[in-house]
Amino acid sequence: MKSAFRLVALSTLLATITATTAKCDGCAVLTERFPTKVFYPSSDVYEYENAEFWSNTELLDPACIFRPSSAKDVSDGIKILDATSEKFAIRGGGHMGIKGANNIDDGILMVMSNLTHMSVSADKKILSVGPGYRFGDVYPFLQQYGLTVGGARLGPVGVPGILLAGGINFYGNQFGFSADQVTRYEVVLANGEIVEATKRKNDDLFWALKGGSSNFGVVTRFDMNTIPSKKVWAGVYTVAQEHLPQFLEATANYSSAITDPLSHIVPAVIPAANGSDISYIGAVILFYDSDTLTYPRCFEAFTSLPNIGNTLDFKTIDEFTIETGTAVVPQINDVFVSGTVVGKTYDQLLQGIRIINDTFFDALPALYAVVPPAAISVIQLDWQPIGSLWMAASAANGVGGNALGLDPEKGVYLAYAEVVEWFDSEYDEAVEAWLISTTYAISNATQAAGLYDHFNYMGDAAGFQAVYPGYVSGRGSLRLTAVEFVYAALGQVVTRLKAKGVYDETLVTVVSKHGQSPIDPAKHAKIDGNLISAATGVDVLQATTDNIALIFLKVLEYLERD
C-alpha cells in the first residue's frame, strides 16, 4: 500500500534538524540513560573534550557533552535526541573549521572520542577504523604491517571528516578519492537503526556516503582497502620569488598531462609581509609511490628550478604526514575557502592559475590594512589537480563512482584552496569579509574566462560557500538528494508520524530553499521564515537546504515508485 508522509524541508546537516514544539531536555534524558557518559560545564571531561578542536572557530559552549563508546550507544543517543527534539552536533576528529560544523552553543555535543576500534583483516587487505581516530593514529598502526591507506595528507586530520567529504589524498591517481577506497560503513540512521552499507547492501546509502558528508546518519565504523607501502619518495620543494612564474607554469604542466598514477602534487604560493613589502615563495608537496625511484620525470618542471629548501627523500607515510602535519597550527583562528577551475589544455589551466593567483594576492594589501601582518599566522593559496586517471579510478569503485559528480568530459578539475589563519578573534569578521570579497572576485574572473566550475571541495569549503549546488553541475546530485531525503529526513519524520498515529494519512509537502550563487554576492542570500504544517498533532520540522529546487522532482519520483 502506498503511504504518504509530510516533510517540510530537508537539512544539509542532519545534526541541526529541530522540532519547533520541542522542549530542550535532551541532556537530562541522556544523563538518565548514560550516567557516566554525559558531561557538563566545569567537569574535567567537558573541558577536555570541548577544547579538542583544531580551530578556535569551533570553541563554542554546548549544554552538555555525550561521549558514546559503541554503535549501540550512538543508536540509543540518537533515539533520545529524536524524542526530545534537542539540537545537537557531532565531532569526529574536530578538524573542520566552520563554526557549528562540529560543535554547538547550548545544544548537545556528541563526541566520537571513544569509538576507537582499529584492526586489519586476516588477509591484511582491509582496515576497520572507528571515527574517534585521526590519521596520525592510523598510519603508525598500519606501518607495522607494511601497509597504508589513501587517507589524509596531514596526520592531525580526522578519519570521518575526510572520508565523508570525499578525500583528496596522495593515492588519488591510483585509487580515486579516499571515499572511493571505503568498502563498508556501519551507520546509525536518523531513527536510531544500525545498518551496514556496502556495494551489495544498502547500495544507495553506500554510494551517497562517498562525498555526501554527514547528511545520512552517524558512521561508527569505516572499512577501507589497504595499500602495501614500506616507503615512498616525498617531500616539500621550495623556490624563491624570482622563480614563481616558472613555478606556476610547472603546476599547469603537471596538471594538464597527469600520466603517472604513482604521483601527486600540492603546489602552494605563500606570502610574507615585512612592513609595506610583501615577498613570496612557492612550495610544492611532491609525492611518488615508490621506494626505489627518485626525481621522476613527471616532477621535472618543479625540480629543475633552483630551490631554497628540499626535503625530498624516502620516508614512510607516517613520517611524511608528521612532516606535513607541522603546517597544522593548533588553537588558531582560520578560514579555508575552496574553488575550482576546469580546463583541457596547458594554456587553459595556466590561465586559470594566473587569474586565481593574481586576484588573490593583488587583494592582499586590503587585508593587511585591517589585520596587522603580525596577527596573521598563515596565508597561502594551494592547488590540487584531479584529472582523468583520478576520475577513472573513482568510477571503478564498483558503485558507479561517488556523490561528488565530477565529469571527465570537462577536462582537469584544478581545485584550489584559499587559506588564512590568524591569532586574535577580534579580526574574525575582517578576515571573513576580505575572503568573501576576494573569492567573488576570483569567481567572477574565472567565470569571465570560461574556466569556472561550481565544484567546491567540501574538505576546504568555507561556511559562506554552497557545496551541494556544485555537485548539481556534475553527474550525480539528483540521486544524492533522493538518498538524502530517504535516509536523513524520513528516518525522523516517519518515527514521529507513526507515534502520532497519522502515518497513513499525512500528505507529502517538499519545500526547497534555494542555495547561494557562487558568483554574484548580491545573490548570496538565504530565504528565511517558518515552514508551517497544516496537520494537527504533528511536530513541525524547520530547516534549510542549499540544494536547488529542481532536484526535488527526483525526490517526488522516488516516493511514487511504491
For residue 76, give the 3-state DSSP assignment.
helix
> Residue 269 forms beta bridges with which residues?
282, 381
Least confident span in 87-101, 107-121, 336-350, 524-538: 524-538
Residue % of the chain over a pLDDT of 70: 78
Position 178 pLDDT exceeds 70? yes
Strongest mean pLDDT among 42-56, 180-194, 342-356, 401-415: 342-356
Burial degree of 378 (CB within 10 A; 0-12, 13-18, 19+): middle
Least confident span in 15-29, 35-49, 545-559: 545-559
Position 537 pLDDT exceeds 80? no
Terminal alpha carbon distance of the chain? 8
Residue 61 to residue 180: CA distance in whole angstroms: 35
Residue 290 to residue 263: CA distance in whole angstroms: 9
Residue 349 to residue 415: CA distance in whole angstroms: 11
Least confident span in 52-56, 112-116, 369-373, 447-451: 52-56
Confidence (pLDDT) at 97: 73
How does the average pLDDT of the chain come out, rounded? 81
pLDDT band, very low/low/confident/very high, at 272 (cuts 50, 70, 90): confident
SS (H, E, C) 270-285: EEEEECCEEEEEEEEE
Distance of CA 143 to the CA centre of its chain: 26
| Position with higher pLDDT, 318 vs 550 | 318
Confidence (pLDDT) at 161: 92
Position 151 pLDDT exceeds 90? yes
Cell output for 100: 557549528
> Once rounded to an integer, what is the mean pLDDT over residues 430-438?
93
Which residue spans within 18-131 are E strands per DSSP?
A: 18-19, 38-39, 64-66, 88-91, 108-111, 118-120, 126-129
pLDDT band, very low/low/confident/very high, at 198 (cuts 50, 70, 90): very high
> Once rounded to an integer, what is the mean pLDDT over residues 228-234?
98
Strongest mean pLDDT among 42-46, 199-203, 535-539: 42-46
Residue 300 to residue 254: CA distance in whole angstroms: 9
> Once rounded to an integer, what is the mean pLDDT over residues 9-31?
50
pLDDT band, very low/low/confident/very high, at 521 (cuts 50, 70, 90): very low
> Once rounded to an integer, what is the mean pLDDT over residues 334-344?
95
Burial 495-526 (b: 16+ CB within 10 A, else e): bbbeeeebbeebeebbebbbbbbbbebeebee
> Once rounded to an integer, what is the mean pLDDT over residues 188-207?
89
Residue 488 to residue 278: CA distance in whole angstroms: 48
Confidence (pLDDT) at 500: 54
Please answer whether residues 300 and 127 qualify as being in contact, where contact means their C-beta atoms are separated by less than 8 angstroms. Answer: no
> Once rounded to an integer, what is the mean pLDDT over residues 90-113?
86
pLDDT band, very low/low/confident/very high, at 18 (cuts 50, 70, 90): very low
> Once rounded to an integer, what is the mean pLDDT over residues 210-237?
93
Confidence (pLDDT) at 553: 35
pTM exceeding 0.85: no
Residue % of the chain over a pLDDT of 90: 60
Between β-strands 108-111 and 118-120, what pairing exists: parallel, antiparallel or unpaired?
unpaired
Residue 156 to residue 95: CA distance in whole angstroms: 8
What DSSP designation does 369 have?
A: T
Residue 141 to residue 157: CA distance in whole angstroms: 16
Confidence (pLDDT) at 470: 55
Distance of CA 264 to the CA centre of its chain: 19
Position 534 pLDDT exceeds 60? no
- Nearest Cα to Cα of residue 325 among 56, 60, 140, 119: 140
Residue 70 to residue 130: CA distance in whole angstroms: 10
Burial degree of 257 (CB within 10 A; 0-12, 13-18, 19+): middle
Give the tens place of pLDDT for each residue, 401-431.
788 889 999 999 999 999 999 998 899 999 9
- Nearest Cα to Cα of residue 93 among 61, 63, 138: 138
Give the tens place of pLDDT for each residue, 493-518.
445 545 555 444 443 333 333 232 22
Round the CA-based radius of gyration of the chain to a whole number and report it: 23
Residue 18 to residue 235: CA distance in whole angstroms: 47
> Once rounded to an integer, what is the mean pLDDT over residues 91-103?
80
* Backbone torsion region of residue 511, taken as left when φ is above 0, otherwise alpha when ψ lies between -120 and 50, otherwise beta: beta
Position 325 pLDDT exceeds 80? yes
User: Domains (ranges, CATH) in the chain?
Assistant: 24-111 (3.30.43.10), 118-228 (3.30.465.10), 232-315+332-472 (3.40.462.20), 477-560 (no CATH)
> Residue 11 forms beta bridges with which residues?
none
Give the tens place of pLDDT for each residue, 42-68.
899 999 999 888 777 778 899 999 999
pLDDT band, very low/low/confident/very high, at 469 (cuts 50, 70, 90): low
| Position with higher pLDDT, 471 vs 229 | 229
- Nearest Cα to Cα of residue 357 among 448, 244, 200, 209: 244
> Once rounded to an integer, what is the mean pLDDT over residues 280-303?
98
Confidence (pLDDT) at 87: 87
244 Cβ contact partners less than 8 Å away, ≥ 6 residues apart: 269, 280, 281, 282
SS (H, E, C) 103-150: CCCCCEEEECCCCCCEEECCCCCEEEECCCCEHHHHHHHHHCCCEECC
> Once rounded to an integer, what is the mean pLDDT over residues 141-159?
96
Q: What is the DSSP string of 240-262?
A: -GGGHHHHHHHHHHHHHT---TT
Least confident span in 90-94, 157-161, 437-441: 90-94
> Once rounded to an integer, what is the mean pLDDT over residues 444-473?
81
Confidence (pLDDT) at 100: 75
For residue 266, give the 3-state DSSP assignment.
strand
Please answer whether residues 178 and 169 qualify as being in contact, where contact means their C-beta atoms are separated by less than 8 angstroms. Answer: yes
> Once rounded to an integer, what is the mean pLDDT over residues 394-398?
84
